Chain A
Amino acid sequence: MAEKKPTGTILVAGAGVSGIKAAIELAEIGYKVLLTDASPQIGGILAKLDNQFPSDHCGMCRMLPMVGREYASQYCMRKGLYHENIEILPFTQVKSVEGDAGNFTIELLQKARYIDTDRCNGLGECISVCPVEVADEFNHGLTQRKAVYKPVPHSTPQMLLVDMDACTRCGECVKVCPTNVINLDAQDETSNRQVHAVILASGVKLYNLREFEDAKSWAVSPDVVSSLAFERIISGTGTFDGKIKRPSDGKIAKRLAWIQCMGSRNRRQNRDYCSSICCMFALKEAVLAKEKGGDDVETTIFYMDMRTFGKDFYRYYERAVDIGVKFVRCRVQAVMLNPDTSLSMRHYDSQDEEFIVADYDMVVLATGQIPYETHKDLADLLHIKVNAQGLLPTETYDKVKLTKPGVFVCGSLMGLTDLSEAMSSGIAAAGQASRLLAGLDVTIIEEEAVPEPRAKDREDPLVSVVLCKCSDKVEKSSVDFGALEKGLKKLMAVGEVNIIDMVCSDEGKETVLDLLKKSKCNRLVIGACHPFIYRNALKNLAKKAGFAASLFEIIDLSSIVHKGFFEPNRSESGAKDQTREAYNELFAIIENLKLKPALHVETLPINQTALVVGGGIAGMHASFSLAQRGVQVHLVERSDKLGGYASTHVNHTIDGLEPVSMAKDLAIKILEHKNITLHKNCEVAATQGSLGAFETKIKDNENQENIYLQHGAAIIATGGVEGKTAEYEYGNSDLILTQAQLKTGLDTGEIDVSEAETIVMIQCVGSREKQENVKQDGQKQGREYCSRICCVGAIANAMTIRQKNPEARIFILYRDMMTYGFAEQYYTQAREEGIIFVSYTLDTKPRVALVDGKPVMTFLEPVLNSEIEIPADFLILSTGVDAETSNRDIGKAFNLPVNQDGFFVEADSKWRPVEFMKVGLYVAGTAHSPMTLKDAILQAEAAAQKTYAYLSGRKIHTAHAISRVHDAICVRCQRCVDICPYGARSYDEVLDRIIVDGATCQACGMCGVACQNNAAEIMGFSDKQIMAVIDAKMSKNTIGLAAQ
C-alpha cells in the first residue's frame, strides 16, 4: 500500500481580514489552514468597524464563498469564522520557523486564556462576579471591562479569557463557573506543526495618540479621540448606542473636527509614508456623523491632501461636499482646551490672509497605520528584512511574494493597504501558495463520501427529535426534559424523541448515529448548543444515517436551558415557562419540517478551461498563473501583439522596474506554454452559459471567421488608455505634451530638456471634476475620478528631467498629491531635488497663453496668495487614464455591468474586488479601475486564484435553497431577470422560459418580491411553511404540555 500523502497545509499568521481571506481561499480548495493571531480574537481592526464606505454598512460576510455555500458554515463574519479546513488559533505567536518552501516546521506558542473556550458556555457568570475593572481596549478605553472578559463583545462563541495582568486571583470566577472551565494556573503551550507554505498577514496597528510624545499637543482632553475610537462611539453597538456624545461629559457633540495625517507623513518620526486609508476613513466618519447626528452637526476636516485615489472615492468626496462637510487645507499645530471644556483650533486662511479660531465639541484624530514592533522578530525568523518603516513591501512586480521561497505576505504588512487591496492581496497570497502546493506531492481534503439519503417526497412526514442534555446542566436547569419529551411525542408528526448526553462529544455522536440508523423517521431535528459550530458535523452525521440534508434542522436549545439554570427566580411557574419556550421552538421547527419538500443538490460538471480577455500585463499574468497550475487557458487579444500599454510605454518605473522587458519575457513564456492558446487579432462577440459551462464566440479579425470557445470561467483584463484632452492649449504647440509623450520622448532622446529653464507640469487635467465642466473635441467628457498613476508618473518624469538638467526649474501644479503609501517618499525626494509643487483648486486653474508659440503660464501661488507669470519651455499635462472603449461591448457580451466611467463594476468594491456578481467571471487590472502595474499584477493573481478555486473542484454543487419558476403562471415579463443581483436568471428565447442558474442563485428572494404572479419561489421557503411557523410561534395552545 502506498504511503499516505500529507494534506497540503498552510500557516496564515495574522487573522485580520486579509489573513482570513487568504485562509478561506485556501480552505475552499481543500487545503488545511492554520490561522493564528497574536491577539486573543480574530478580525483585526475590522472587528471594531461597523460601517465601511461607500455603502456605509458592514459587508464583512461578503468575504465568504458564493458557490457551495452550504458546505461552508456561512455566518456573520463579525461574530466569527467557521470552516472545517481552518484551524483557528487565537492568542498564538509564531516562535520559530525552520525548513524551506514545501517543508516548514513551525513552533507555535499558544498563550494561556485560563478558560477552556471549548466548554465555556459564554454566558459570563464569571464576568458578573469579577471585582477588577480596567479600561476596555475594544472601546478604546471609553468603557470599562473586567479582568475576565470578552475581547470582542459580539463574537460567537464568546471567546472569554482572563487578563492575568489585571487579575487579583481572588477566585470568585472559578467558584461561580457552572461548567468548571476556569483554570487560573493554566500554562502557555508550545507545539510544533508541519506546513508547506507560510502567509504573513500580521497587519498594522493604528497610531495611538496617547503613546507618542508629540501627540500631547493634540490629545488635551478625553474629547480628542482617535478615528477608531470615534468608530466605537458612532457604532450602534458601541459606547453610546450610536449617539455622538462627548466622552468627557456625555453631552451630545454637534461641532466635530477631524485632523488628518496623525502619525503619518512625518519625516521627523521616521514615518515618511501615507497611511492610505485615513482620508476615506475620515470622510466616511464625517458623512456618518451628519447622517446619524442630524443636519445641525457641523463637520470640518483639516487636511493636507485629500487622497481620494481609489475607485469611486472621488465621488464619495463630492457627496461629502454636497452634504456640507467642510474642508480646510491646514495642519493645525495644537488643540486647545477652552475653560468651558470645549476645544478650539486655530488655522490660517491663505486666501483671506487671516487666522481663524473655531470651537469644537469633539476632535477626531485620523490616526495612521503603523507597524507592530514584532514584525521585525517575525522577519528575523524567516531571514528576511523589514524596510525602514518596519513593513514588508516587496521590490519586485509581485507584491505578495517575499524573497524567501514559500513565504508570502498580504494586507497592510505588505504596505499599508485599504480594504479592497487587503482582499485582493489575501486572495493573491493564497494564489501564490496554491501555485506552490500544486507542484508538491500533497493532497487536498476531499469531501466525505456519504450514501444517498432517503428522501421520499411521497412518504408522510415523520420527525425524529434529538435533544442534547449538555452534561449535567440539564439537571440543574428549569427546563423539564421529561415533560418536553412527553409533550413532543404527542405530536402526530413526531416519530421519536431521544435525549442524549453531550452530542458534541465523539461518544455522543456515535450514540446519535446508532439511534438514527435504526430510525424509521424521514426528518430530523437536533436541539443542541452553538449550532454554527456543530452544524456541519451534525449535518454529516444526519447524512450518514440517511437523512436528506434539506430535511434536517438544528436549533439552539442551550440558550433556553442555560437561561433556566441561571434564572434567580426558579419558581415552578418560571420553570414551566422555560419548558414551554423550548417546546414552542421545537414545535415551530417541526411544523416547518412537516411541510418542507426534500430538496436535491444538483452537481454540475465544470469545463476546466479558462478564458482571459486582454493580453496586457494583467491578462498575461493571470493566464500564466492558471496555466502553471494545469488549467487550460484561451487568451484573447484584440491587437496583433501581447503586452498592452505598459509594454510599449513604460521602459522603467520610479521603483526601478522595467515593464517593457518584463512584458517581453512574459509574452515568450505565454507563447511557449502548452496550456495557453493565444487568439491574436480577436474580439469577444457574444457569450452564453454560466459558471462551469460558458460558450463564447470570438471574432477573428484577421482571418474573418468566428471561433467558439468552451470555458468554465473567464477573466476580463481589457486595460485602459491614456486620457485625451483639449485643455491648456494642448495640440496647439509642440512644447505642450502629455506625460506619456514626455516619457517616450525622454527615453528615445527625441525631447531635449538640457537647455530648458522652466518646465511646468499640470496634474488632474480633465480629471476629478464634474464631467460637464470638461470639454474635449467639443464633446463634454472627462474623468470624475482619480487616475491614481499620474502623480507618481509626473514625479518620475520630473526626476528624470532633473538628472538631465540640474539647473531647470520644475513646477508641478497639483490639486492633491496622490502619493499614497510608500509613494510618499518619492514626493519627498522630488521636493528634496528642488522640484516645486504648487497646489491649485478647480476655482483657480492655471492658465496658458501661447506667446510666439511658447506657453506662458499664469497660476496662483496659494501660500503667498499672489499670481505668478512665467514662460515655460515645456508644458506637460497629466491627462489620466480612460477606460478601454470596448468595455461596453464586452460588458454586453458577458452581461456584466460597466459604470458611467466605462470601467467594469465588481461585485463589491471592498470585499469582492476581483469578482463579478455573476459567478465564474472575474476582473483584473485597469479594466477594474486605473491602477499601478504592481496592483494590476496583484489583481491578476487574485482573479486567477478565484478562477482556479472553481476549476480545480471539477464539479460544483448547487445549494438546496435556490429559486425556481412556476412555468405555468409565469408571464415572461422578466422583472426577475432585471432585479436578480447575481445574474442568476435569464430568459431563454428558444425554450421561451425563465432559466435559473442553480450555482449562481443565492436564494436572496429578490425575484419572489419582484414577481407579480407568485411564479418565483424559493425552494424550502414556501408560503405554507412560513405561515405554519408563524402560527406555531404565536400559538398559546401548547398541545402536548397542556395535557400533562
Chain B
Amino acid sequence: MDFSESDKDLWKAIYNTKDLLHCFNCSTCLSGCPASHGNPPLLVRNLARMVVYGLEDDLLDDDTAWACVSCSRCEEMCPMDVKPFEMILSIRKWQSANDETRVPPSIVEIYKRGYTQSVGTNTELRESLGLPELQTITKMPEMLKLYQEMLMKTPVVSENDYMFSEE
C-alpha cells in the first residue's frame, strides 16, 4: 500500500465528524451486512479504515459504497456510534463531487435487474420456513421495461445511455 500519497485529513473532506475516528475495527458493521454478500463485497469497516488513512486514490476507485442497500443494520449495531451508513452516503457524495462523469456501476445493475444485489437467493431457507417464492421485478419483464423507461428519464442514465444499452 502506498502510504506516501495518502492524505491524513481526507476524513475531513469526506465525513467531517469525529464519529468516524471512534471506529476500533470491531467488524460489527460488516459481519451482518447484506451487501457484503455481493461480489465484490461491501466491507464497511474497510472503507472506514481507508477514509481514516486518507487513501484517496483507492477510495475513488472503489465502487462498493454504491452496493449499500440502506438497511441501516450497521448504524443500529455499531458499538462506537460511528454511523457507518452516514459514512457510506458521504463517500458516495464525495466520489460524485470529485468525478462528475462518474456512473456508479450499481446503477447499471439496477437498470438491468431492478436491484443492486441478487435477492433471489435463499430459496431453500424460504421454503423451509413455509414462505412463498419471492416475486422480484426480474420475473416480471413488462414491469422491468416500465422501470427502465422511468430510469432513462434521470439525467445520470440518459446522459450516459451508452452504458445502459441492451446487449
Contact = CB atoms under 8 A, between A and B. Distances in A.
Interface in A882-902: none
Interface string B60-79: 00000000000001101111
B50 interface: yes
A153 B76 CA distance: 40
Contact of B22 (A267, A330, A867): A267
B79 A836 contact: no
A269 B36 CA distance: 26
Contact of A267 (B8, B32, B80, B125): B80
A863 B25 contact: yes
Interface string B3-40: 11000100000000010011111111111110011000
A861 B1 contact: yes
B73 A333 contact: yes
A675 to B, nearest CB: 50
A347 B77 contact: no
A331 B74 CA distance: 12
Interface string A820-846: 000000011001111011010000000
A869 interface: yes
A868 B3 contact: yes
Given A268-B81, A331-B27, A348-B27, A355 B41 contact: yes
A862 B25 CA distance: 10
Contacts, number: 100
A333 B129 contact: no
A158 B33 CA distance: 51
A214 B53 contact: no
Interface in B80-96: 80-81
B135 interface: no
B81 A333 contact: no
Given A214-B76, A864-B49, A870-B3, A831 B21 contact: yes
Majority-rule SS of A interface residues: mixed
A265 interface: yes
B45 interface: yes
A442 interface: no
A261 B32 CA distance: 17
A782 B52 CA distance: 34
A266 B79 contact: yes
A332 interface: yes
Contacts of A304: 24, 26
Contacts of B45: 348, 863
Nearest to A346: B31
A346 B32 contact: yes
Interface in A865-923: 866-870
A96 B53 CA distance: 55
A265 to B, nearest CB: 6
Nearest to A839: B25
Contacts of A828: 22, 80
A471 interface: no
Contacts of B23: 831
A331 B1 contact: no
Contacts of A214: 76-77
Given A863-B49, A870-B3, A331 B31 contact: yes
B118 interface: no
B80 A348 contact: no
B46 interface: yes
Interface string A315-352: 00000000000000111111000010000011110000
B32 A355 contact: no
B1 A864 contact: yes
A332 B125 CA distance: 21
Nearest to A824: B24
A165 B30 CA distance: 44
Contact of A330 (B31, B46, B78, B125): B31
Contacts of A832: 18, 21-22
Given A828-B22, A832-B22, A870-B3, A332 B28 contact: yes
Pick the most buried of A837, A861, A863: most chain B CB atoms within 10 A of its CB.
A863
A237 interface: no
A333 B32 contact: yes
B101 interface: no
Contacts of A866: 1
A267 B81 contact: yes
B50 A864 contact: yes
A321 B77 CA distance: 29
B43 interface: yes
A832 to B, nearest CB: 5
A interface residue count range (under 10 / 10 to 19 / 20 to 34 / 35 or more): 35 or more
Contacts of B128: 339
Given A339-B128, A831-B21, A864-B46, A332 B8 contact: no
Contacts of B31: 330-334, 345-348, 355
Contacts of B76: 214
A331 B22 contact: no
A396 interface: no
Contact of A348 (B8, B36, B81, B125): B36
A385 interface: no
Contacts of A266: 79-80
Nearest to B37: A355
A828 B26 CA distance: 13
A836 B128 CA distance: 46
B46 A863 contact: yes
Given A339-B125, A837-B24, A348 B30 contact: yes
Contacts of B80: 266-268, 828
Contacts of B29: 333
A576 to B, nearest CB: 65
A217 B78 CA distance: 12
A868 B1 contact: yes
B2 to A, nearest CB: 9
A809 interface: yes
Contact of A836 (B53, B125, B129): B53
B79 A265 contact: yes
Contacts of B28: 331-333
Nearest to B45: A863
B9 to A, nearest CB: 9
Interface in A211-264: 214, 217, 261
Contacts of A348: 27, 30-31, 36, 43, 45
B135 to A, nearest CB: 22
Contacts of B21: 831-834
Nearest to A809: B8
A869 B22 contact: no
Contacts of B22: 267, 828, 831-832
Nearest to B124: A339
Contacts of B81: 267-268
A276 B77 CA distance: 22
A343 to B, nearest CB: 14
A609 B137 CA distance: 89
A331 B79 contact: yes
A706 B77 CA distance: 67
Nearest to B25: A863
B23 to A, nearest CB: 7
Given A332-B32, A348-B31, A261 B79 contact: yes
Contacts of B79: 261, 265-269, 331
6 smallest beta-carbon distances between A and B, as pairs:
A333-B32, A331-B26, A866-B1, A268-B81, A266-B79, A330-B27
Given A331-B79, A831-B24, 4 more contacts: A268-B78, A330-B26, A332-B32, A834-B8
11 contacts: A214-B77, A261-B26, A269-B79, A333-B33, A334-B31, A348-B31, A355-B31, A831-B21, A861-B49, A868-B1, A869-B3
Interface of A: 214, 217, 261, 265-269, 304, 329-334, 339, 345-348, 355, 809, 827-828, 831-834, 836-837, 839, 861-864, 866-870
Interface of B: 1, 3-4, 8, 18, 21-33, 36-37, 41, 43, 45-46, 49-50, 52-53, 73-74, 76-81, 125, 128-129
